[in-house]
Structure 1
Amino acid sequence: MDFSQMRIIAATRTTPVPSGSNQVVSEVKDAVSVAKDMASSFREQLPVLLFHLAMAVAVILLGILLVRLGRFIITRVIWRRSRKKGIVQRTDTVRSILSSVFGYVMYFLIAAIVLAIFGVDLGSILAAAGVVGIAIGFGAQTLVKDIISGLFIWGEGNLAVGDLVSINDLTGTVESISIRTTVMRNFNGNLYTIPNGDIRTVTNMSRGFRRAIVQVPCPYEENQERIVEMLRDEMKKAAVEIEGLKDVPDVMSIVAFDKHAVMAQVAVICPIGEHWRVERDIRSRIKARFDREGIMMPHYVIPESESK
């Protein structure tokens, strides 16, 4: 074997490389290749992703604008109709409920459109939502009851914003009625939020008329017929001088016996929401008349034995 043949044989021989090193090199190459593919795919998809994101933002902003515009239109339409029909007091009630329903529907549609923009299959979501809705329905019976009750309240017109009502032993003025709750404020300024499904008994004191009732304590030692005649004379004057009275207040002679007085009673029909003022005015006139006639209102006197 000459020298040239030895060079050929040496050239054809390869230096062995450990198998572990080959595996590491292969994994690094694969990782680099995957990273390059991901970067390339991201560069290709970035314009599409940005376009979808811009579309979603535009849909959300447009949806919010449409919700506000729709609620404005609802308010204008209902206000015009209520003025024509003479039911202005129910305007806020109807507007509140319709605005709530319109808002819920619009926000649901906005969410569905945004999901569709990003390629989410709405069919499968709705199917899954149906199954989940059935499961949630059993746990959300109270919510469903509140909504249904709210629709009946709106449809029947038993309540309206601004009405003075008594609901479940709570008395106050209705401030708002939504599809789920009724909000009322009492005379002390406390705000009550009552789920519509919990409303059992409603006493509306803002419909028709109210009766102002004043009980008058009269001394036992005074002549009751004289006091009744005096009260009737004073109430004839009150019918003319007290604003809002259309009839002469009715004077009833003896309606009760108290420990220290005989109770007479004055009653009169007055406009809605005015009975407190009318009662105050009647009490003031009776007290002034008693003072002029020298009749002392019955009052409790502490015995000397108790004062020591």
Structure 2
Amino acid sequence: MQQVINGLSLGSVYALIAVGYSLVYSVLLFSNFAHGGFLVIGGYICYGALKSMGVNIWLAGMLSLAGAGIAAALTERIAYKPIRERTNVTLYLLIASMGMSIVIENIFVIVAGGRFRALPPVIPTYPVQLFGLATTSAFDLLSFLIALIALGCLQLFLSRTKWGLAIRAAACDLRTAGLMGVNVNLLISIVFFTAGALAAIGGIFLSVRYTLYPQLGAITIKAFVAAVIGGLGSLPGAVVGSLILGLAEMLAAGFISSQMRDLVVFSLLVITLLIKPSGLFGKQMSEKI
């Protein structure tokens, strides 16, 4: 039971990141591998706000979300928009995203240094007994709860707002949405801002779980695996795939060996691609990259 709770907590953090991958993919049909950089940006903004400004974790978290979201939107405008306007080949966007990932990582290596940093103890980590069935930490419960709230707010945004309707329309056909009067460039900026903000929440929790360093964004490869398992472009699929991955990772670490965690994760990816390449909730698309 304890490993299940830990797996759900880790899976919910993966879900925040995987949903960002799926949001971008659903609109632009490419996997944004610079997404891990936004996670790192969010983590460092939170760390800087807590250390230098002395604010509380809630204000630091809001600054982190805003900073990572703006950075994601600027990345799209600077690196991806010129490519989008010149060609429809999404492979070029994929290559550009890999380059931006390396650029962001190296900026933090130069500016912040490569050493590991621990966030101040502002998020409780004390043990909590759950009805006498298991012992978990307050951090795991809090990360699970906040991830649920964030994903719930995203669902409300997509289902109840005008821009949410526009994003769902663009996910069906971006060109047609533009012909129907949707400001496509603003819509894409909103998508990237939302994805960056969600990544920042994941960055804060992963910084507490693993410490903060410029290469922390590499962990988003597991969130990408979760998005592929659930079906790229499907937000429910990203959430379900992330929970499956988090549970598999923690159960493997608890009952087999911690060294088997990555083997289990990438074995699930290979099995999914062999049996159902489109993922659990994805659709077959010839342009999938």
TM-score by shorter chain over 0.5: no
Greater strand share, 1 or 2?
1
Higher Cα Rg, which structure = 1
Q: Please report the TM-score for the alignment, with normalisation by the length of structure 2.
A: 0.23
Q: Please report the TM-score for the alignment, with normalisation by the length of structure 1.
A: 0.22
Greater helix share, 1 or 2?
2
- Report which structure shows greater RCO (CA 8 Å, sep ≥6): 2
